[in-house]
Amino acid sequence: MSIAFTSDQWWKNGVVYCLDVQTFLDEDGDGVGDLVGLIHRIDYLAGIGVSTLWLMPFYPTPDQDDGYDVSDFYGVDPRLGTLGEFVEVVRTARDRGMRVIVDLVVNHTSDQHPWFQAARSDPNSPYRDWYVWADERPEDPDLTETFPGDQGGVWSFDRKARQYYLHRFYKHQPDLNIANPAVREEIARIVGFWLQLGVSGFRVDAVPFLIELNGIDGAPSIDPHRYLKDLRSFVERRHGEAVLLGEVNLAPKDQRAFFGDEDGDELNLVFNFSVMQRIYLALARQDATPVERALADLPGVPFDSQWATFLRNHDELTLDQLSDDERQEIFEAFGPDPGMQLYGRGLRRRLPPMLDGDQQRIRMAYSLLFSLPGTPVLFYGEEIGMGENLDLADRLAVRTPMQWSDEPGAGFSTAEAKRFARPVTEGEYRPLAVNVAAQRRDPGSLLNWFERLIRRRRETPEFGLGTWSVIANDQPAVLAHRCDWDGSTVVAAHNFGADPCRLDLVLDDLEDAVGADDLLDGSPEHSLDGPRLPLTLERYGYRWLRIRRDGQRLPP
Ligand code: ISL
């Protein structure tokens, strides 16, 4: 396998950037971000070096779940633009070397969707069986509310239909019935539509819920994983390079099935929720052991498959895979105020305020993220260290407008602040203190550091394509690991502790190694003492080192 091969598995060696058109850039000055605004920032995104844009839902919506309640799968929310402008986004991104993937939210529709309106109004409508109905409210302990406390269960009575309908999320999001072949056919049509418009795949929302058959009357005749395989083959037939990046928030042993058989014939990428949660535990404890254990618990993934790694996303920082005590430790360290907590399982915060703005610690966390097995996914604003706005409801706290400059409206919009769909952050992380324009002028800024990090990550295919292993060491605060690919080895070391430390890493099977070159901003060369690589790490220090073998020519 060689470097040329990385283009075949492009999803293994890039950086994904998630953004919401609505909060990115408002070009027409109405207070709401739009597709034309995004087009104006494509060069910015190409400039920081991300390779794939993941667009959060931009479809027509009553907007009761920030667009995850879709009322037309084939359109663009008129507040954000038009289909024509969407194609221009894809086309411009492609020209600058970036691919676009879009959110596929088909576990449910909005209750305003014409399908649901037809289904509830007429028992003989062909759409009736597109949703999941019951005459009596079923009692099934496995079917729990995803947003606890809010919805009064997962079955709600519809007065027009005179039946209960299933919704695993909000009441206004009735679940589609994927046991119905017509629904599966329609989902394929939706997928085919966006592929035809040029997207390179989908971030598939809530996959375990999508393929869940519990609650559907009668014995459904489909195998849910067979269905995911069919969807994947359909995507491949329509567009060979397109991928499915799935949101599967399950324990690793249960996630494995979502990659499919040995050949990896279901989701190409699966978000790594378990490692993400343990990174926060390790940060809270200043001890790398939880991450080491989480890595050890990961199942091997098929050749065409990959983890998608992330520190934060648009939802609450869910800590649902941890024990109550572990979650409590993180709450105490990073979100002690009940107003920062959500659904009893997570924090509605961004990373920098959780780490008290400690630049060294923030960089250590992202350096780690970018070196872990998988494809890193950034949430807009992470590259400049944006904070949250806790005055906003629930998960909206982390979805404030992108901060482009210190102008009024953060350079996001020229509209009067009261017209903003969502206000900008105030306080320590306000646009005056955190913005793109100022950070571009400062060579030491987080933004410029991210640019170098992203560039280096893309030049280090060992992380995305190699085989990885943890290197045992005698510093509990330090996670050291190596990735081997195509005759090359990269070693990474990350210090979760507030104290500097020294350690010796013993590298097996590297008899011809003569030294190591620092790939980030540490001192350029390190010498080896036989198989031992002595390292010094400052507080929250981090290093990426490529091993130099005798007679080998390495990239700069
Ligand atoms: O099950 C979970 C926690 O135990 C959640 O992580 C669940 O996977 C998640 O809430 C699903 O989220 C996605 O679908 C929602 C939407 O509100 C979220 O923003 C989206 O990320 C409904 O479409």
List pLDDT tens digits, range 171-224: 999 999 999 999 999 999 999 999 999 999 999 999 999 999 988 887 788 899
> How many Å lie between the centroid of ligand 1 and the Cα of residue 53?
20
CATH number of 114-166: 3.90.400.10
Q: Point out the residues that are catalytic.
A: 205, 247
Q: Which residue has the tokens 């920062």?
A: 340
Placement of tokens 């290197």 in the chain: 471
pLDDT digits (tens, 9 = 90+) for 115-140: 999 999 999 999 999 999 999 999 88
- Mean pLDDT rounded to a whole number for the chain: 95
Separation between Cα atoms, residue 54 and residue 521, nearest integer Å:
29
The residue contributing the CA closest to ligand 1 atom 10 is 146
Mutation pick for ligand 1 pocket among 205, 210, 254, 313 (CB with most ligand atoms within 8 Å): 205
- Inform me whether the pLDDT recorded for 158 exceeds 70: yes
Q: How far is the CA of 173 from the centre of ligand 1 (A)?
A: 12
Tell whether ligand 1 has an atom less than 6 A from the beta carbon of residue 65.
yes
The ranges assigned to domains in the chain are: 3-106+181-457, 114-166, 467-549
**Closest Cα to residue 202, out of 53, 101, 271?**
101
354-365 confidence digits (pLDDT tens): 999 999 999 999
- Cα of 245 vs centre of ligand 1, distance in Å, is 14
Closest-CA residue, ligand 1 atom 23, reads 68
Q: How far is the CA of 322 from the centre of ligand 1 (A)?
A: 17
pLDDT-derived band of residue 34, with 50, 70 and 90 as boundaries? very high
- Answer whether residue 160 shows pLDDT above 90: yes
Cβ of 313 below 6 Å from ligand 1: no
Identify the bridge partners of residue 480 per DSSP, sorted by sequence position: 493
What's the mean pLDDT in 302-331?
A: 98
With residues binned 3-state (H G I as helix, E B as strand, rest as coil), the percentages for the chain, rounded to 5, are: 35, 20, 50
Q: Measured between alpha carbons, how far is 532 from 516 in angstroms, rounded to an integer?
A: 11
Is 146 a pocket residue for ligand 1 (Cβ < 6 Å)?
Answer: yes
Contacts of 391 (CB under 8 A, 6+ apart): 397, 423, 426
Among residues of the chain, what percentage have pLDDT more than 90?
A: 89
In order, the DSSP letters of 501-549 are: EEEEEEPTT-TTEEEEEESSSS-SEE--BTTEEEEEE-TT-EEEEEEEE
pLDDT for position 6 = 86
Contact 515, 532 (CB under 8 A): no
Question: Rounded distance, CA 478 to CA 45, Å?
Answer: 32
Q: What is the pLDDT of residue 365?
A: 98
User: Which atom of ligand 1 is nearest the CA belonging to 320?
Assistant: 4
Residue 1's pLDDT is what?
65
Say which range, 110-119, 218-227, 262-271, 272-281, has the weakest mean pLDDT: 218-227
CATH topology for the 3-106+181-457 domain: TIM Barrel (3.20.20)
Identity at 50, one-letter amino acid code = V
pLDDT per position as a tens digit, 336-392: 999 999 999 999 999 999 999 999 999 999 999 999 999 999 999 999 999 999 999
pTM over 0.85: yes
Residue 205 CB less than 6 A away from ligand 1: yes
The CATH number that domain 467-549 falls under is 2.60.40.1180
Q: Could you tell me which of 269, 281, 272 has the C-alpha nearest to residue 319?
A: 281
Instruction: Report the separation in Å between the CA atom of 206 and the middle of ligand 1, taken as the mean of its atom positions.
Output: 6
What is the distance between the alpha carbons of residues 112 and 56, in angstroms, rounded to a whole number? 20
68 CB within 6 A, ligand 1: yes
